[in-house]
Amino acid sequence: MKLTRLFILGVLILNLAAVPGFAQPGKGKIGFVDLSRLFDEYHKTKEYDKVLENRHNEFETQRNEKVEKVREAQGKLGLLKDEEKAKVEEEIEKLKAELLEFTKQNQTDLTKDRNEKIREILLEIEKIVSDFAEKEGYSIILNDRVLIYGNPADDLTVKMLDILNKSQQ
């Protein structure tokens, strides 16, 4: 998830830097934001984390039920006659295959949904930062990860968090 987050943050940085009108030298102000902090402390990110956690817990519950069925079937093997063992072993293999497919499909779905939501949230943050920059006369707003030094007076993170989370109140 960290790699995905870093990749998306990098893309967002490039998008912010490439917005026409921002790169006009000598015009406007320059500021920076901690994009990771904006993302992590944005109320929509926190809300979606809860949704994702609930979905993951539901998946784990269903998966554990399927695992328990496999264990029960394996426990019966020692008590069965040879003819019946073959049938139960076949059933166990079928249950294991279903469990693997269920796990793979759910993990794929959760990952896809998470990536879409991350993208949506980052685009929303980008829009709000861009609107703020235009309104307040900033020609450049950078992510603090690309800075070697930034004057704390130019750090717009708290202002951006206030704007982002204003809709929650």
Question: Which distant-in-sequence residues (6+ apart) come within 8 Å of 40 by Cβ?
Answer: none
Q: State the pLDDT at residue 17.
A: 53
Q: Give whole-number Cα distances, 58 to 54, 66, 67, 117, 169, in Å.
A: 6, 13, 14, 19, 30
What pLDDT does residue 20 have? 47
The pLDDT tens digits of the residues spanning 25-74 come to: 556 799 999 999 999 999 999 999 999 999 999 999 999 999 998 888 88
Name the pLDDT band for 15 (thresholds 50, 70, 90).
low
| Per-residue pLDDT tens over the stretch 75-95 | 877 777 777 888 888 888 999
Tokens coding 47: 């809300």
Give the homologous superfamily in CATH for domain 15-166: Skp domain (3.30.910.20)
State mean pLDDT over 95-100. Answer: 92
The one-letter amino acid code at 120 reads E
| Domains of the chain, residue spans | 15-166
Is the pLDDT at 23 greater than 70? The verdict is: no
Between CA 36 and CA 19 the distance in angstroms is 20
With H, G, I as helix, E, B as strand and everything else as coil, classify residue 30. Answer: strand
pLDDT(117) > 90 = yes
By the 10 Å C-beta count (0-12 exposed, 13-18 middle, 19+ buried), 16 is classed as: buried
Q: What is the pLDDT of residue 78?
A: 74
Residue 112, pLDDT score: 96
Q: Mean of the per-residue pLDDT values for the chain?
A: 84
What is residue 21's predicted lDDT score, i.e. its pLDDT? 45
Q: Which of 161, 122, 133, 163 has its CA nearest to residue 30?
A: 133
